[in-house]
Amino acid sequence: MGVRIGRPEGSELKTEIISTAGSWIKYLGYAMLLQFIGFIVTGIMLVAEIFGLAMQYGEEQISEEQFIELAMGVLTKYFTIYVILIVIVAIVAIITGIKLLPMKEYHILFFISGILLIIAYIGQIAGGAYSFIWMQSLTVEQLQNIAGAMSQNPIYSVGSYLTLLAYLLLGIALYLFGGTYEEYKDVKGNAVIVIIGAILILVGFGYIILFIGLILAGGKLK
C-alpha cells in the first residue's frame, strides 16, 4: 500500500469525478492542438489566395478596386474560420470548467479555475458572435492587420487575462493535488508545464506549452 503525502484524514478519492475531469482537461488540450493546426493551415491558405490575387493585380488582370474587394472577401472568409475555431475550443473549455467544479472536494482552486474557464470562454463565444458583426465595420487597413484589429476587440482583450488566470490556477491546483495524493503524484510534473504555459499564454509559444501540459496532465488523472 502506497504512502500518502499530506492526505486529509477521512478523505476518499472519487475516481469517477477525477477521471472525468482528467478526460476533459485532455480533450481541451487536444482541441487547442487542433485549433493551432487549423490556424497554421488557414494562414497558409490565406497567404496563397492573397498572393494569387496580387499576381493577377500585378499582371493587370484585375483593377485595384477589384483587388481590394476580392482581398477583403478572402480576409473575411478566413477570419470567420478563425472565429469558428475559437468557438469550438470555447465549448470544450466550458464543459471542462463544469467538470472541474466537483473537484473542489480536493482543492478549492479547481472550483475557482473551473468558474473562470466558464466565464472566460462564454465571453469568447460572445466575442465570436459579436465579431461577425464587428468585422463588417473594419476598414481595409484593419483587415490587412487582422491581429491588431482583434486586439482592439474588448471582449477578446479581457478574455485573454481571464484565461491566463484560469489556467494558472488550474496548474497550481493540479500540482497541489499531485502533492497531496500519492496515487496522482505523476501529475505534478505536467502541472508545472501547465503553469509555465499559462504564464506565457500571451506569447505565441506559451499556447503550445499549455496544450501539451493539459494533454499530459489530463492523462494522469485516471
* Percentage, residues of the chain above pLDDT 70: 82
Using an 8 Å Cβ cutoff, are 217 and 197 in contact? no
* Percentage, residues of the chain above pLDDT 90: 46
Whole-number pLDDT of residue 155: 43
Per-residue model confidence as pLDDT tens digits over 109-137: 999 999 999 999 998 888 777 776 766 66
Binned at pLDDT 50, 70 and 90, residue 146 comes out as low
Q: What is the mean pLDDT of the chain?
A: 83
Average pLDDT of the segment spanning 133-162: 57
Least confident of 147-151, 196-200, 217-221: 147-151
pTM of structure = 0.82
Q: What is the per-residue burial (b if ≥16 Cβ within 10 Å, else e) of 47-66?
A: eebbeebeeebeeeebeeee
Whole-number pLDDT of residue 62: 81
Nearest to 166 by CA among 185, 131, 158: 158
